Amino acid sequence: MSNDSVYIDRFLEMMAAESGASPNTLSAYRSDLEQASSFAKGLLSEADRAGLEKIASAWSELKNSSVSRKSSSLRRFFGFLVEEGFRADDPSDSLPRPGGQRSLPKILSHEEVAKLFETIEVRLNTKNPKPKDARLSALIELLYGSGLRASELVSLPRKSVMMDRPFLIISGKGGKERLVPISDRARHAVKRWTGFVDGDEKYLFPSRTGHLSRIRLFQIIKDLATKSDINPTKISPHVLRHAFATHLLEGGADLRALQTLLGHSDISTTQIYTHVDSARLVELVNNRHPLSRHDLTR
């Protein structure tokens, strides 16, 4: 099996588990990626800008909608390779964008995030809270509070969160390590959950076969959304990671700091998290532009 085949399978697994892609969408991604891999003689994952431009040249007779879809598939694939540490650079900006700007990623509002935590609080404040509710609290606090990838979250060692240490040391794909701040809320949520975890367990979120799977995490979050009166199609582990990043940017964080927090090798990958609603952009111009504060004719 070629590296491309392995990476494509992992990418589709991520899309299913973290983004909730439908079977039809996954099939379309696979078709586009396998065709591009065939054109690249099984070396798509190693392609540079010139290589991607050659692949795109084979699309010259296709409709704009088809070119747009294929470009989008490859951009998502290369974004995945960079984010997971399988390569350091993302050459996919050389691909055509016939449809104009790419669509904005899904985002949760502050109010929707608050609903999720309200649902969890109601469960925890019952007379006899269940272990799965303590686990749910720890999962959501770490996903939204620290912006972990689903794969990083489910594979956390049991002793990774210490009450006297306000950060996690995350070992991401490619063996790269980074420090991730963890809030007091998250540490207390994890402490509550570890009371239900056997001391001999290797993982913080164990299962019968190792650790909680990404697919099971996806299902847990969908169920929480339904019980919080949020459309479950809007939410996934990756959407909570995106909410973490977007809400930090809204609060004043800069892209370089966010790049470090998210563990991105390339700043261009971090830029997908700069989705800001139009109302805030209008407010920014009205309140921060020099013309809003000064009479420059004086």
The structural domains of the chain, with segments of one domain joined by +, span 3-94, 110-273
Average pLDDT over residues 81-108: 77
Considering 69, 70, 242, 264, which one is annotated as catalytic? 264
Cα separation, 171 vs 297, in Å, equals 56
Q: Is 109 exposed, middle or buried (CB count within 10 Å of its CB: 0-12, 13-18, 19+)?
A: middle
- Judge whether 29 counts as a catalytic residue: no
Average pLDDT over residues 225-229: 95
- Judge whether 115 counts as a catalytic residue: no
- Judge whether 76 counts as a catalytic residue: no
| pLDDT of 118 higher than 90 | yes
| pLDDT of 107 higher than 90 | no
- Predicted TM-score (pTM) of the model is 0.66
C-alpha dist (Å) from residue 200 to 58, 151, 170? 55, 22, 21
Fold held by 110-273: hpI Integrase; Chain A (1.10.443)
Considering 76, 135, 149, 211, which one is annotated as catalytic? 149
- Judge whether 264 counts as a catalytic residue: yes
Superfamily of domain 3-94: Tyrosine recombinase, N-terminal domain (1.10.150.130)
Q: Note whether 30 and 7 are within 8 A (CB).
A: no
Considering 188, 273, 288, 294, which one is annotated as catalytic? 273
Residue with the two structure tokens 């290369």: 78
- Judge whether 173 counts as a catalytic residue: yes
- Judge whether 149 counts as a catalytic residue: yes
pLDDT top residue among 165 and 156: 156
pLDDT band for 17, please (50, 70, 90 cuts).
Answer: confident
Considering 30, 49, 173, 178, which one is annotated as catalytic? 173
